[in-house]
A and B are shown apart, each in its own frame.
Chain A
């Protein structure tokens, strides 16, 4: 689905990503791990086209999105990708519900009624019904992050990018979000997430470990119960 070919990214004189290549298959669930400053978030933004590349290219179903102009790319992201950020970034002047439906109304893939119906269904699925008209500062961190996932899903994206989705949540809220991600992936949603939390990574099928802007290791995990122990063992090697 996505082919990442020898991408590099520099900020002024500092090279953050070096020659990274990998592939994301449809239905994949990839977790990117690494120490702070290793370049894992930069990798996510580079792959999703949110950030420009210094060199290399990213092919989305054969289309070179690295060569797209910013405005063209934003339209592409709107219809094909969903994003979830660490702090559930939302617009302050819209209610929770309007924040969720906004990308749907902008994309116009469906009728307004269809989008509202879909948003309600997503909220129901995320178990956050009843907070629709609330201000984003009036709901809990977990509710907000689940709202943020609803917003990311509103246009039925082909891939979901998440940057530390549980970084700002308590353990109860983290569990809720993880369950949702697992469910979504089980239903066929492709997911790429950046995390430092092994509880998130353990839900992934594949983990990339980034060190000094390079893929230090990549591992696929089996679907068995030993997955958690297997990941622990693997991470100990870094």
Chain B
């Protein structure tokens, strides 16, 4: 063993650059694997912990206006599958009335409700995951605002309307299991009962959340149907536990998913490089192996001799990566920890990375053993012939017109003959370019206003939401009459949204949201078919159509106000709003049944969207007015922030990989070609010529790899992104590329880095000498 370790030590010394590069590769892949699993473990622990302590409802229905409390109590009592229920009284206060550091929250998309602490379940927790308590004059601020606006304990939030002014001191930051995520459009502030009573006299509108916990095994669809059938209060958004889980998973899980996906890519690259290096090393060692076999060295001993080096390398990389994954994972978990706390299963963040690293080590070690065993299969004579075994590489012809660009001609000629040797670096360059572009393109797509076409509506400039009010129709009429006479508005359309019942695949009747309005004003691109043309047609969102098992041309029966209505499915579109399950049809909703009016509008050329938004906010004070770009960015705020982190990490990682692989391959190839280098120098090529030839070869390969990586990122990127968003309701995403960054700056940075690496990595050419060649 001591002899083996000595040999390994000498080998490491002799191949310092390659060994280091290989070690970094292994460490990086193990780090990402362990880090991704640590993030995933933390996320699950945090979410579970928050859910255990906060006990979020399994079904939540919001409602504004009066309701029959006795009827509600009766409803609960007569349903034995309801474990517990709660009516949360929430005072909705317009963002214009909430002031933090002299600025209102008008720019924020969220609806803000003021509540007292619940009893029984759906607790608002403080940052220690204890049930939060506030005294009179204090306020608990949602963690979302603490993150977005930097609100801290001790800061002052002012509520202001007309002559009334109330200052509340931030006593705690609130974790809310139901409405934590940026994707949830409402946020709850915690105040004392006395303050709530006082404030409600001066401002705000009461909204109620009817919340339920169900007995084990009960479907929320059963409750939802019963609830609607019983005519329970329901003019607001309804949320199910599964929808909340999905929103949370998407908000926090995306980073873990992407890190693990990147680590798998990286592991593939590490295995590729390792196999290349082992083959290259073994090829040079063939003669020695032959000699060892000839003098009777047992095959097992030779195998151990060559394997032990890689085992040491993998184990060292595993230990380093496991330790490095602690700060790495914690950095990427900081958001979920901030929003949800550490949770109850912290063991997961220690055990999962450990299992990941062990698995990775096993994969690499078994891979090494397979390659080494393959090499040892050759006979002594085959091994000792060495050179004769090398396959003929083929020729390239010098141009008959002479060498106008000698280095280019020779580099390309040689590349033609030995391109197989560059397949590993080519693949790594492809992967890296893919890795840089995919998160970049995904983020760019999500940040583009046209992303709203995946939200079930065509492109427009501004969105007006009129909802959660008893005076919806009047507000809508007021908005319409203003818009009608505003010459700066090019066009607008009003959509009425209500609920009708659809029969799901299990035969249960479920409520889904249906939009009724002129679909031609802001035309939407349909996955299949087209928008409804007449009163007999209905378009379904992708998820709705999938769940109902409907295709274009199928007939569909829905129930509205107890009456069966027959429609033909005319089109399927993408929509990630409202859990992905929506429809479009000309249903004449009764004014009382309209849950929300949404107005989309385009401003005329030259009119500032922001100025028009501000103007409308001043006029239509009871409506929520949002520029579409802001609507998209705030809806996906948390996700795009995480995507930015992933984007930066992917760029740094890919550039590091590119540099490493270039150094490693150059080291191997210059060593392998030392004879050709020496000959070239002897016949009159300068060191500079030879280094240029290496540079051309590698940059040429990288150029092709970047093209391939870019095409793959566009093709597969759409498929991967579509797959990720298909769970939300959009299956076919068109990736939007920012051409300057994706096609110019990105490739230029990669090429420049390789260029610099080639300059540094080919210095070794100077030391190759024909004398060494002759002496060998």
Q: Which residues of A contact B (CB under 8 A)?
A: 41-42, 45, 50-51, 70-71, 74-75, 77-79, 83, 85-87, 89-95, 98, 101-103, 105-108, 111-112, 115-116, 135, 137, 151, 163-164
Instruction: Find chain A residues with CB under 8 A from B401 CB.
Output: 112
Instruction: Find chain A residues with CB under 8 A from B201 CB.
Output: none
For the complex, what is the distance from the CA of A79 to the CA of B394, rounded to whole Å? 29
Which 7 interchain pairs have the tightest Cβ spacing?
A78-B684, A112-B402, A71-B686, A74-B686, A93-B417, A105-B403, A103-B683
Whether A45 pairs with B678 at a CB distance below 8 angstroms is: no
Q: Judge whether B107 is part of the interface by a CB distance below 8 angstroms.
A: no
For the complex, what is the distance from the CA of A108 to the CA of B406, rounded to whole Å? 10
For the complex, what is the distance from the CA of A93 to the CA of B398, rounded to whole Å? 11
For the complex, what is the distance from the CA of A77 to the CA of B683, rounded to whole Å? 8
Q: Judge whether B83 is part of the interface by a CB distance below 8 angstroms.
A: no
A154 shortest CB reach to chain B, Å: 9
Q: From A95, which residue of chain B is reached at the shortest CB distance?
A: B395
Whether A93 pairs with B396 at a CB distance below 8 angstroms is: yes
Q: A89-B675, A92-B393 are in contact. List 5 more A-B contacts (CB 8 A).
A: A75-B684, A77-B684, A85-B774, A93-B418, A106-B683
For the complex, what is the distance from the CA of A77 to the CA of B685, rounded to whole Å? 9
Instruction: Find chain B residues with CB under 8 A from A91 CB.
Output: 676, 679-680
For the complex, what is the distance from the CA of A101 to the CA of B395, rounded to whole Å? 15
Whether A94 pairs with B682 at a CB distance below 8 angstroms is: no
Whether B770 pairs with A85 at a CB distance below 8 angstroms is: yes
Set B399, B678, B687: member contacting A71, Cβ < 8 A? B687
B112 shortest CB reach to chain A, Å: 72
B residues 720-776 in Cβ contact with A at 8 Å: 766, 769-771, 773-775
Whether A93 pairs with B770 at a CB distance below 8 angstroms is: no
Given the contacts A91-B676, A93-B414, A70 and B403 also touching, CB distance less than 8 Å? no
Proximity string of chain B (338-380) to chain A, C-beta cutoff 8 Å, 1 when within and 0 when not:
0000000000000000000000000000000000000000000
Whether A41 pairs with B683 at a CB distance below 8 angstroms is: no
Instruction: Find chain B residues with CB under 8 A from A115 CB.
Output: 402
For the complex, what is the distance from the CA of A197 to the CA of B679, rounded to whole Å? 24
- 8 A–B pairs (Cβ distance < 8 Å), ordered by A: A71-B686, A79-B684, A89-B678, A89-B682, A89-B774, A93-B394, A102-B683, A106-B684
B591 shortest CB reach to chain A, Å: 83
Whether B769 pairs with A95 at a CB distance below 8 angstroms is: no
Set B395, B417, B689, B771: member contacting A51, Cβ < 8 A? B771
* Residues of A contacting B: mostly: helix
Q: Judge whether B400 is part of the interface by a CB distance below 8 angstroms.
A: yes
Whether B685 pairs with A106 at a CB distance below 8 angstroms is: yes
Q: From A44, which residue of chain B is reached at the shortest CB distance?
A: B771
Whether A135 pairs with B392 at a CB distance below 8 angstroms is: yes
Whether B396 pairs with A50 at a CB distance below 8 angstroms is: no
Instruction: Find chain A residues with CB under 8 A from B683 CB.
Output: 78, 83, 102-103, 106, 151
Whether A94 pairs with B396 at a CB distance below 8 angstroms is: yes
B696 shortest CB reach to chain A, Å: 15
Given the contacts A78-B683, A78-B684, A42 and B770 also touching, CB distance less than 8 Å? no
For the complex, what is the distance from the CA of A42 to the CA of B413, rounded to whole Å? 33
Q: Which of B417, B679, B681, B683 neighbours the largest number of chain A CB atoms within 10 Å of its CB?
A: B683
Proximity string of chain B (402-417) to chain A, C-beta cutoff 8 Å, 1 when within and 0 when not:
1100100000011001
Set B398, B676, B775: member contacting A92, Cβ < 8 A? B676
Instruction: Find chain B residues with CB under 8 A from A163 CB.
Output: 774
Chain B: interface residue count, which band? Answer: 35 or more
Instruction: Find chain B residues with CB under 8 A from A108 CB.
Output: 402-403
Instruction: Find chain B residues with CB under 8 A from A70 CB.
Output: 686-687, 766
B145 shortest CB reach to chain A, Å: 65
Q: Judge whether B79 is part of the interface by a CB distance below 8 angstroms.
A: no
Whether B687 pairs with A102 at a CB distance below 8 angstroms is: no
Instruction: Find chain B residues with CB under 8 A from A89 CB.
Output: 675, 678-679, 682, 770, 773-774
Instruction: Find chain A residues with CB under 8 A from B402 CB.
Output: 105, 108, 111-112, 115
Q: Judge whether B688 is part of the interface by a CB distance below 8 angstroms.
A: yes
B387 shortest CB reach to chain A, Å: 9
Instruction: Find chain B residues with CB under 8 A from A83 CB.
Output: 682-683, 770
Q: Judge whether B3 is part of the interface by a CB distance below 8 angstroms.
A: no
Q: Judge whether B389 is part of the interface by a CB distance below 8 angstroms.
A: no
Whether A103 pairs with B684 at a CB distance below 8 angstroms is: yes
Q: From B403, which residue of chain A is reached at the shortest CB distance?
A: A105
Set A86, A95, A112: member contacting B774, Cβ < 8 A? A86
A35 shortest CB reach to chain B, Å: 15
Q: Which residues of B contact A (CB under 8 A)?
A: 392-403, 406, 413-414, 417-418, 675-676, 678-689, 766, 769-771, 773-775
* Residues of B contacting A: mostly: helix
Instruction: Find chain B residues with CB under 8 A from A106 CB.
Output: 403, 406, 683-685
For the complex, what is the distance from the CA of A50 to the CA of B406, rounded to whole Å? 22
Whether B395 pairs with A93 at a CB distance below 8 angstroms is: yes
Q: From B415, which residue of chain A is reached at the shortest CB distance?
A: A93
B628 shortest CB reach to chain A, Å: 59
Instruction: Find chain A residues with CB under 8 A from B682 CB.
Output: 50, 77, 83, 85, 89
Q: Which of B393, B394, B682, B687 neighbours the largest number of chain A CB atoms within 10 Å of its CB?
A: B682
Q: From A52, which residue of chain B is reached at the shortest CB distance?
A: B769
Q: Which of B399, B401, B684, B769 neighbours the largest number of chain A CB atoms within 10 Å of its CB?
A: B684
Instruction: Find chain B residues with CB under 8 A from A87 CB.
Output: 774
Set B393, B414, B687, B770: member contacting A50, Cβ < 8 A? B770
Q: From B414, which residue of chain A is reached at the shortest CB distance?
A: A93
Set A51, A75, A107: member contacting B769, Cβ < 8 A? A51
Given the contacts A74-B684, A91-B680, A45 and B398 also touching, CB distance less than 8 Å? no
For the complex, what is the distance from the CA of A51 to the CA of B394, rounded to whole Å? 32
For the complex, what is the distance from the CA of A105 to the CA of B766, rounded to whole Å? 23
For the complex, what is the distance from the CA of A41 to the CA of B397, rounded to whole Å? 33
For the complex, what is the distance from the CA of A90 to the CA of B682, rounded to whole Å? 10
Instruction: Find chain B residues with CB under 8 A from A137 CB.
Output: 392
For the complex, what is the distance from the CA of A79 to the CA of B392, rounded to whole Å? 32
For the complex, what is the distance from the CA of A87 to the CA of B775, rounded to whole Å? 11
B770 shortest CB reach to chain A, Å: 6
Whether B684 pairs with A94 at a CB distance below 8 angstroms is: no
B408 shortest CB reach to chain A, Å: 13
B104 shortest CB reach to chain A, Å: 70
A159 shortest CB reach to chain B, Å: 14
Instruction: Find chain A residues with CB under 8 A from B675 CB.
Output: 89
B678 shortest CB reach to chain A, Å: 7
A23 shortest CB reach to chain B, Å: 23
Whether B679 pairs with A93 at a CB distance below 8 angstroms is: no
Instruction: Find chain A residues with CB under 8 A from B397 CB.
Output: 95, 98
Whether B769 pairs with A105 at a CB distance below 8 angstroms is: no
For the complex, what is the distance from the CA of A83 to the CA of B683, rounded to whole Å? 7
A98 shortest CB reach to chain B, Å: 5
Instruction: Find chain A residues with CB under 8 A from B395 CB.
Output: 93-95, 98, 135
Set B398, B414, B680: member contacting A105, Cβ < 8 A? B398
For the complex, what is the distance from the CA of A89 to the CA of B687, rounded to whole Å? 18
Instruction: Find chain A residues with CB under 8 A from B685 CB.
Output: 74, 106
Set A71, A78, A86, A111: member contacting B688, Cβ < 8 A? A71
For the complex, what is the distance from the CA of A226 to the CA of B503, rounded to whole Å? 116
A81 shortest CB reach to chain B, Å: 9
For the complex, what is the distance from the CA of A82 to the CA of B642, rounded to whole Å? 64
Instruction: Find chain A residues with CB under 8 A from B681 CB.
Output: 50, 74
Q: From B771, which residue of chain A is reached at the shortest CB distance?
A: A45
For the complex, what is the distance from the CA of A91 to the CA of B675, rounded to whole Å? 8
A41 shortest CB reach to chain B, Å: 7
A3 shortest CB reach to chain B, Å: 22
For the complex, what is the distance from the CA of A45 to the CA of B402, rounded to whole Å? 30
For the complex, what is the distance from the CA of A208 to the CA of B414, rounded to whole Å? 41
Q: From A42, which residue of chain B is reached at the shortest CB distance?
A: B771
Instruction: Find chain B residues with CB under 8 A from A75 CB.
Output: 684, 686
For the complex, what is the distance from the CA of A164 to the CA of B417, rounded to whole Å? 31
For the complex, what is the distance from the CA of A107 to the CA of B689, rounded to whole Å? 13
Q: Which of B394, B399, B403, B417 neighbours the largest number of chain A CB atoms within 10 Å of its CB?
A: B403
Whether B398 pairs with A101 at a CB distance below 8 angstroms is: yes
For the complex, what is the distance from the CA of A115 to the CA of B398, rounded to whole Å? 12
For the complex, what is the distance from the CA of A87 to the CA of B678, rounded to whole Å? 13
Set A86, A95, A116: member contacting B400, Cβ < 8 A? A116
